[in-house]
């Protein structure tokens, strides 16, 4: 059943009489978002109250999707699911009754016990009261939802503007390293200082997934990713502001030695032994450049040279181990490696954020400072930005932001082919207690239509904001 839901784009919708609706049907409303009282244009019905409210819309027909449903439409003649089988029998004898959970993938299948994953607004509690009587409050409530949606889109847009400005700052720093080292350091310190100051403001930290085009427009997004994630991790570890400033500078300059390595080596993901040895020299070159700049802290210079060292002694350039690896180098080593897993030279080898964190925890735990790695996982949340998920109401969505107020309830962009992608619904699950995430999906198995719509970033880039409410 999970496979069917994940490949739902190929599921053909069937129009039925609204009188045949029942809990368990995944339906789509072919009408404007403001014209109905539900948070989602498409969702799995979970209560009889939702059925009554859908029927009160006065539609002559409603589209439902069999492969995403956990029940069958009612047979008007007998009041039971149609199809010539018993109520609980689905295709090939599969149990898709109201009580069945579809192997755990469709958590909203328990109809009456669930408060209703498809709803987001007050329901019509009974059949009394005509549509005109209910129209005014529905519009009022929906306007509130529209205002919240506009606020979230504005927050994302502001964050992307700040990200683009920071990327321009990184580019300026790298451009000035050799001809104007003092200027490069000054620009770097302002950029890092602004970032640290922003984190000191009141409100919950929200980590956003950035627009892919923003990452594509600069060759320095890796440096910016590592800087932002390192400062956020340092804050999670409760490092004092003065150390965060040093950490930010170190992360920003961590790959400065690559300026002395030819592009033919840097961009080659199939380096031979000699090319790999040359590539690894970027840590030594980086220390030399940092020394020439003259104004970087000793701790920052250590990060530049040792960010590829590992706790198990299998890193480079010196094979340091345990506490011999400088503290800030251990931290930047984690954020640098994570970003390389998500954004490798060959994007076909890219891991999803969840896969990268799982890989580092399960397969490489001996390489990293355990306390720092656990803090990093806690920072990005159970569902890191960029994760594809299935919601309890049957919808497929992309995690676009993680709010530290509740790591289990991120903001998601919902796949809805009836809505243009630029107008896609962005839902903060903190505001919708009746909808939760059921399962993380693998993009390699997702239907092409959903994958193209949600467009999980081929390059994962993050930035942050503060939310005060």
Q: Which of 335, 330, 266, 284 is nearest to 303 (CA)?
A: 330
Dist CA 49 CA 45 (whole Å): 9
How many whole angstroms separate alpha carbon 87 and alpha carbon 55?
A: 21
Crossing angle for the helix pair 327-342 and 298-306, to the nearest 10 degrees: 40
Coil, strand or helix at 61? coil
Instruction: Output the pTM of the full model.
Output: 0.74
Asked if residues 169 and 180 have their Cβ atoms less than 8 Å apart, the reply is no
Which contacts (CB < 8 Å, 24+ apart) does range 189-198 have?
189/245, 189/249, 191/166, 191/248, 191/252, 192/227, 192/231, 192/245, 192/248, 192/249, 192/252, 193/245, 195/166, 195/227, 195/228, 195/231, 195/248, 196/231, 196/241, 196/244, 196/245, 196/248, 198/464, 198/466
103 Rama sector, left if φ>0, alpha if ψ -120 to 50, beta otherwise = left
Phi, psi values for residue 81, rounded to 5°: -55, 140
Q: What is the 3-state secondary structure (H, E, C) of 293-323?
A: HCCCCHHHHHHHHHCCCCCCCCCCCCCCCHH
pLDDT value of residue 417? 86
Position 165 scores a pLDDT of 85
CB 71 within 8 A of CB 94: no
- Extended beta strands in 184-225, E state: 204-209
In the DSSP assignment, the letter for residue 433 is T
What pLDDT, on the 0 to 100 scale, is given for residue 447?
83
Which H, E and C letters describe 247-293, residue by residue? HHHHHHCCCHHHHHCCHHHHCCCCCCHHHHHHHHCHHHHHHHHHHHH
Instruction: Write out the two tokens for 444.
Output: 């390699």
Cβ-proximal residues to 179 (8 Å cutoff; 6+ apart), any chain: none
User: Can you say how many angstroms the Cα of residue 17 is from the centroid of all Cα atoms in its chain?
Assistant: 37
- Phi (first) and psi of residue 238, to 5 degrees: 65, 35
Alpha-carbon span 266 to 278, nearest angstrom:
10
Spell out the long-range contacts of 345-349 with Cβ–Cβ below 8 A and sequence spacing 24 or more. 345/267, 345/268, 345/269, 346/269, 347/458, 347/459, 349/269
What confidence score (pLDDT) does residue 89 get? 35
* Residues of the chain with confidence (pLDDT) below 70: 1-11, 77-142, 201-204, 211-219, 456-460, 464, 466-469
* Structure confidence at residue 163 (pLDDT): 82
* Residue 219, pLDDT score: 55
DSSP state for residue 412 in the 8-state scheme: E
Query: Could you give the C-alpha distances from 68 to 22, 340, 394, in angstroms and in order?
Result: 14, 36, 7
Residue with the two structure tokens 């199939």: 270
- What pLDDT, in 10s, does the model give residues 229-268? 999 999 999 999 999 999 999 999 999 999 999 999 998 9
User: What is the CA 145 to chain-centroid distance, rounded?
Assistant: 22
């Amino acid at each position: 059943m999970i496979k069917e839901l994940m490949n739902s784009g190929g599921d053909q919708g069937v129009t039925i009489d609204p009188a045949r609706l029942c809990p368990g049907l995944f339906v789509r409303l072919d009408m404007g978002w403001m014209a109905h009282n539900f948070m989602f244009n498409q969702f799995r019905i979970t209560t009889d109250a939702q059925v009554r409210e859908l029927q009160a819309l006065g539609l002559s027909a409603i589209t439902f999707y069999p492969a995403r449903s956990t029940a069958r439409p009612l047979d008007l003649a007998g009041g039971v699911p149609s199809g010539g089988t018993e109520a609980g029998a689905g295709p090939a004898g599969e149990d898709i009754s109201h009580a069945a959970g579809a192997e755990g993938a469709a958590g909203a299948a328990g109809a009456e016990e669930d408060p209703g994953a498809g709803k987001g607004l007050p329901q019509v509690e009974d059949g009394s009261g005509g549509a005109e009587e209910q129209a005014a409050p529905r519009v009022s409530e929906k306007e509130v939802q529209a205002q919240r949606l506009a606020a979230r889109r504005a927050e994302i847009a502001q964050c992307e503007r700040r990200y683009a400005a920071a990327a321009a700052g990184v580019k300026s720093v790298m451009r000035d390293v050799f001809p104007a080292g003092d200027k490069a350091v000054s620009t770097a310190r302002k950029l890092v200082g602004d970032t640290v100051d922003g984190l000191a403001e009141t409100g919950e930290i929200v980590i956003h997934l950035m627009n892919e085009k923003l990452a594509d427009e600069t060759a320095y997004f890796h440096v910016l990713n590592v800087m932002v994630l390192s400062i956020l991790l340092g804050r999670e570890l409760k490092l004092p502001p003065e150390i965060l400033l040093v950490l930010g500078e170190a992360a920003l300059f961590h790959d400065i030695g690559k300026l002395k390595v030819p592009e033919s080596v840097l961009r080659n993901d199939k380096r031979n032994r000699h090319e790999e040895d040359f590539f690894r020299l970027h840590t030594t070159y980086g220390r030399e450049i940092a020394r020439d700049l003259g104004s970087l802290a000793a701790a920052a210079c250590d990060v530049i040279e040792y960010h590829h060292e590992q706790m198990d002694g299998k890193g480079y350039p010196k094979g340091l181990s345990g506490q011999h690896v400088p503290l800030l180098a251990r931290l930047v080593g984690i954020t640098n490696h994570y970003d390389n897993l998500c954004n490798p030279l060959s994007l076909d080898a890219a891991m999803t954020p969840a896969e990268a964190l799982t890989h580092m925890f399960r397969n490489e735990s001996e390489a990293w400072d355990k306390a720092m790695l656990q803090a990093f996982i806690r920072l990005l949340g159970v569902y890191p930005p960029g994760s594809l998920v299935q919601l309890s109401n049957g919808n497929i969505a992309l995690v676009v932001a993680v709010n530290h107020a509740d790591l289990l309830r991120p903001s998601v962009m919902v796949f809805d082919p009836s809505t243009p992608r630029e107008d896609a619904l962005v839902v903060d699950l903190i505001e919708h207690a009746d909808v939760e995430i059921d399962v993380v999906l693998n993009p390699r198995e997702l239907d092409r239509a959903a994958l193209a719509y949600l467009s999980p970033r081929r390059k994962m880039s993050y930035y942050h904001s503060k939310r005060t409410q």
